[in-house]
Amino acid sequence: MKNKHMTLEDRVDIQECLGKGMTFKTIASRIGKDPTTVSKKVKLHAKEYSNSFTKTDAICPKLFKAPFVCNGCSKRNHSNCPFARRKYVAKTAQTEYETTLVESREGIPLNKEEFYTNERIISEAVKGGQHIYHSIQANHLSVSKSTVYRHIQLGYYEISKIDLPRAVKFKQRKRRKGEYVPKGLKIGRSYEDFLQFIDENPNCCYSEMDTVSADLAEKSS
């Protein structure tokens, strides 16, 4: 079974394979991932650096195609390469991944001024026909799309759900069905069974009372 996230061991394998000049397809097959995933991770975490051999600000033409890094290049440690190097390092990639994971779970704290600034920018953008995601990305706002939707739902923004064309198209979610009761447990417990019991036992005392299921009581509270 494939892991959802890459481990440090996976990243070390990627680094070693890149150093041997292996293709993304071969690397992906080795660690059990998709080649596109490997390619994206390498480009995302690769770091550029200069040394005493660097003589120009231009980018090496080889870095515009796979594997996009200098790990497997024969000139990466030679003085006859005038370009800045770009290298994929497993430990650096793992550290960046863990930092991103923690930040995504904890969220980015906003003070009052930042909140109202974000609210004004996003509300104006949505009124102008722009999508929430685009307004966040275009203005480099430190807030997630899901947080914005939640704040709109709670009424914290000037705009409301009616201002979101895509959101108002969503159908209402289906209600969860009640707990399943086997037919065998219903035998002898119908209202007709009760009337028959009364006819057969006329001297029996009984009382009538209203009942509410736990699910209905929870929804109405």
pLDDT of residue 26: 95
Q: What is the mean pLDDT of residues 114-141?
A: 88
Q: What is the mean pLDDT of residues 199-215?
A: 73
Q: Which residues contact 190 (CB under 8 A, 6 or more apart)?
A: none
Q: Is the pLDDT of residue 170 over 70?
A: no
Cβ 96 vs Cβ 6: under 8 Å: no
Cβ 42 vs Cβ 67: under 8 Å: yes
Helices (H) and strands (E) in the chain, counts: 11, 2
- Enumerate the domain spans of the chain: 8-101, 108-168
* pLDDT tens-digit readout, 47-82: 998 888 888 888 899 999 999 999 999 888 888 899
Q: How confident is the model at residue 183 (pLDDT cuts 50, 70, 90)?
A: confident
Q: How confident is the model at residue 200 (pLDDT cuts 50, 70, 90)?
A: confident
b/e 155-184 (16+ beta carbons within 10 angstroms → b): eebebeeeebeeeeeeeeeeeeeeeeeeee
